[in-house]
Amino acid sequence: MSTDVHTLSGAYALNALGPEEAAEFRRHLDGCQACREEVRELQTAVARMGAAEAVAPPPDLKARILAAADRTRQEPPAGPVTAGTSEPTPIRSAGTSSTAAGEHGRPRWVTWLAAAAATLVVAGGGAYGVQAMLDDEPPLSLAATRVFEAQDAHTATVETTEGGQLTVAVSAGRKEMAVDTRELPALDENHVYQVWSVHGDEMVSAAILSDPEIGAAMGMPDEETQVALTVEPAGGSEQPTTEPIVQVDPYEVLRS
């Protein structure tokens, strides 16, 4: 990267970098003690700017949060979480990651999609239930849980090309879909799962699962839009750099 990469510290502290640049900047931070120090100081100033916006939350929020924490297992101490990087802690390491191709020009995912689609196995629709909430697992994010627990939710569990499963819920009433990513293979700290909406020959990032254990919810895409999942370098990518490991048609789930 260019010599002035460290001038990105301000934009980084403001969370104003795109996913690729943020990932690149984090790699730069790994080898630059002075930059880490600067980022930490700027983040401290930014945190104070944010804290000055404090407003009283709705009174019932506290009880909800305390109750949710009560049902949630804490992660064992792992690699240190620092204010400097504020990235999710590496949880487990596993060898499932692909490396970023860093492609220019025409994306290759058009052909990748056919391969991913061939592996799509709808393992069952129907009620998702609250079992996952009762296990010793972190709960889904609230937004995702709402979709899974919607009265009209349709769900499907799909196997990925890398092993593991992705469970998708679609609610026509809420016009939302959600993914439960807790059964996907664990990634090392340099990789994340990223969800894409695929429409014609365009692929747009729908979510970077920097916190893969709690899933994600998103608005229901148009018909003829598919949802694909790729493994990307930490921080996510502007365009997919690896082959999708799974692809789902939300409307197919809705009809299941």
Partner 1 sequence: MGSEPGLRLVHSRDPADVNELVSKVARGDSAAFEGLYDALGPAVFGVARRVIRDPNRAEDVAQDVFLEVWRKAPSFDDARGSAKTWIMTIAHRRAVDAVRRNESQKKYDGQAMPEEVQHDEPVERVIQQEEHGAVRTCLETLTELQMESVRLAYFNGYTYAEVATLLDKPLPTIKTRMRDGLIRLRDCLETAR
68-127 positions binding partner 1, by CB under 8 A: 68-70, 72-84, 86, 88-89
159 vs 189, beta carbon nearer partner 1: 189
18 vs 107, beta carbon nearer partner 1: 18
SS3 state of residue 136: coil
Minimum distance of partner 1 from residue 182's CB (angstroms): 13
Contact window for partner 1 (CB under 8 A) among 113-121, 182-190, 197-205, 248-256:
197-205
Minimum distance of partner 1 from residue 1's CB (angstroms): 13
Give the helix/strand (H/E) hosting 19. helix 19-30
Give CA–CA dist 92/240, Å, rounded: 23
Q: Which two tokens stand for residue 97?
A: 């990651």
91 vs 117, beta carbon nearer partner 1: 91
162 vs 250, beta carbon nearer partner 1: 250
Q: Which two tokens stand for residue 62?
A: 């506290």
Q: Does 43 bind partner 1 (CB under 8 A)?
A: yes
Contact window for partner 1 (CB under 8 A) among 55-63, 98-106, 155-163, 164-172:
55-63
Give CA–CA dist 113/246, Å, rounded: 8
Residue 47 makes CB contacts below 8 A (sequence gap 6+) with none
List the one residue from 31, 33, 34, 53 that touches partner 1 (CB under 8 A): 53
**One-letter identity of residue 193:** Y
Give CA–CA dist 226/112, Å, rounded: 13
List the one residue from 48, 95, 106, 151 that touches partner 1 (CB under 8 A): 48
List the one residue from 117, 143, 172, 186 that touches partner 1 (CB under 8 A): 143
Displacement of CA 35 from its chain's centroid (Å) = 27
Count residues near partner 1 (CB under 8 A): 78
Minimum distance of partner 1 from residue 241's CB (angstroms): 17
For residues 217-256, which are near partner 1 according to CB under 8 A? 218-222, 225
**Cβ neighbour number for residue 253 with a 10 Å cutoff:** 21
Nearest-CA neighbor of 92 among 204, 182, 195, 199?
Answer: 182
150 vs 162, beta carbon nearer partner 1: 150
Nearest-CA neighbor of 156 among 140, 173, 185, 180?
Answer: 180
Q: Does 50 bind partner 1 (CB under 8 A)?
A: yes
